[in-house]
Amino acid sequence: MFLATAGKSFIRQRLIQSGPLSVFNRSFHKKPIPVSWEKPELGWTKLNFDGSLRGRTGKASIGGVFRDHKAEFLLGYAEPIGRTTSTIAELAALRRGLDLVIQNGWSNVWLEGDAKTLVEIILQKRRVKCAEVQKHLSHINLIIPELENCIVTHIYREGNRAADKFAQMGHESERLRIWRDAPPDEVLPIVLEDAEGKIVLRRR
């Protein structure tokens, strides 16, 4: 249930929103935005998820990474999902992540992705016209209330690099792959940088 209904689970939105700017300001005052990955609080598990679509082929893959309050790696996953849209890929990445949340018994979970529109749809429990999209959303909306506490937030891609790397790795896999306790070599440098609070500048 949502915080607004005083249920045991809650979802809060932490979106970075820019104020109203003129066309002139947007053209000549585009300062880079500092972005960094943020650790969850003690007792929480954080999932960063992402979907990836490969150009003209339309082939998609998904990935995600779970870390604790010390920014220590818990679990990562990567999976090819065939031809689909970017929206479906993002939803599939989150859905797979939530399935792993249930399997591992995590109850205080922070979900974070870089698809802002998708985050807004989940937070507002919007219904959509596309049947396949709604199918994924319905599954997600069934799992979230079962968690003790749940936060859903948006992060710029620069703060979602580990999940993006896992999603890219999904293109090279034939099936779902899961890493536990230690990340693959391709992801390790990013995980370490995130743990150190590295700031990556987002060029607008």
Domains and CATH numbers, the chain: 3-14+45-187 (3.30.420.10)
Q: Are strands 45-54 and 108-113 parallel, antiparallel or unpaired?
A: parallel
Element (H, E) at 143: helix 131-143
pLDDT average per 10 residues of sequence, the chain (204 residues): 37 38 47 96 98 88 98 98 95 98 98 96 89 94 95 97 98 96 97 97 87
Interatomic CA distance for residues 203 and 64, integer angstroms: 24
Q: What angle do CA 108, 157, 120 make, to 5 degrees?
A: 60
pLDDT at residue number 29? 59
pLDDT at residue number 201? 94
Contact between 59 and 83 under an 8 Å Cβ cutoff? The reply is yes
Query: Tokens 């066309």 correspond to what residue?
Result: 23
pLDDT at residue number 132? 92
pLDDT at residue number 89? 97
pLDDT at residue number 13? 41
